[in-house]
Amino acid sequence: MQLCLTSWSLRACSTAEAVGLTKVLGFGGLDLGYFYGPALSKDAVLADPEGTARQVRGLGVTVPNFYHLFGDSLSGRNLADPAALERNVADFRQVARFCAAANIASVFVLPGVCNPGQGRAEALAQSAVALNALLPVAQAEGVTLTIEPHVHSFLESPALTLQLLQLVPGLKLTLDYAHFTCLGFTQEQIDVLAPHAAHVHVRQAKPGALQTKLSQGTINMQAMLGTLRDAGYAGWLAVEWVHQDYMDTLYDDVLTETIACRDVLRAWLG
């Protein structure tokens, strides 16, 4: 397993500064997305995937994973909205081309929310339709498609996540234990998802709090790493402390917690 950062953790940095911090702090890669100072332009990715990929390759840093958001919010053009399917597939063709040209091995998207008139069952069924349309697009470009179950999506339990994975053979996870921990699931309940992980986000959390200081959370990092190893995971661990309005993640010293977590992960990995 290797360590990387997420660019949206470094919201006040430019892309060049985020790359520099990644290297100075000894991380092997930097995940990219459309957010804050280190953002890529979604318009550029969609309009000129190969040209944008050349710019990314020129950054001089490995990009293990790319975060694509179809709309402008968690609910905008989400995968459980049938009206968004055609546009989302068209956009995703460009995103997959970009990832392939930029040597980004995996992309993560969000599973969707409960839209008007939907409960979890309806949202899950429509999300499966969308993901079954997106998956062959990614596979044709040699890119691994992943979803991240998250708070406020329809996908807020390990059991529902396993149901969706059954409906979309070949789909993988960007797994963040914190989203399930926040909702009150035990670590042992979350562990069943480890065999399906293609990318992993790492931060500390506790019931009721999506993010907390490393010393105050309930996630047993060493046990999580052992579970991932035993499940055959050999991919990237993306340290993801953030400063965002989402779920009140505004009060931690991102740099301090990132370095502390890096040291814990390094010590276990040896």
Helix (H, G, I), strand (E, B) or coil at 67: strand
What is the predicted pLDDT for the residue at 249?
73
What is the predicted pLDDT for the residue at 36?
87
Please give the helix or strand (H or E) that residue 129 lies within, else none: helix 120-140
Closest by alpha carbon to 249, among 257, 238, 261?
257
The pLDDT of residue 247 is above 90: no
The pLDDT of residue 37 is above 90: no
pLDDT digits (tens, 9 = 90+) for 178-198: 999 999 999 999 999 999 999
The pLDDT of residue 149 is above 90: yes
What is the predicted pLDDT for the residue at 60?
95
Instruction: Report all structural domains of the chain as residue ranges with CATH numbers, in order of start.
Output: 2-269 (3.20.20.150)
Q: Average model confidence (pLDDT) for the chain? A: 96
The pLDDT of residue 213 is above 90: yes
Residues 30 and 263 sit within 8 Å (Cβ to Cβ): no
Going across the sheet that includes 172-176, the strands are: 29-31, 2-6, 236-239, 197-202, 172-176, 144-147, 106-109, 65-67
Question: pTM here?
Answer: 0.96
Residue 232: which residues within 8 A CB-CB, separation 6 or more? 195
What is the predicted pLDDT for the residue at 246?
80
Residue 210: which residues within 8 A CB-CB, separation 6 or more? 151, 178, 179, 182, 246, 247, 248, 249
pLDDT digits (tens, 9 = 90+) for 98-147: 999 999 999 999 999 999 999 999 999 999 999 999 999 999 999 999 99
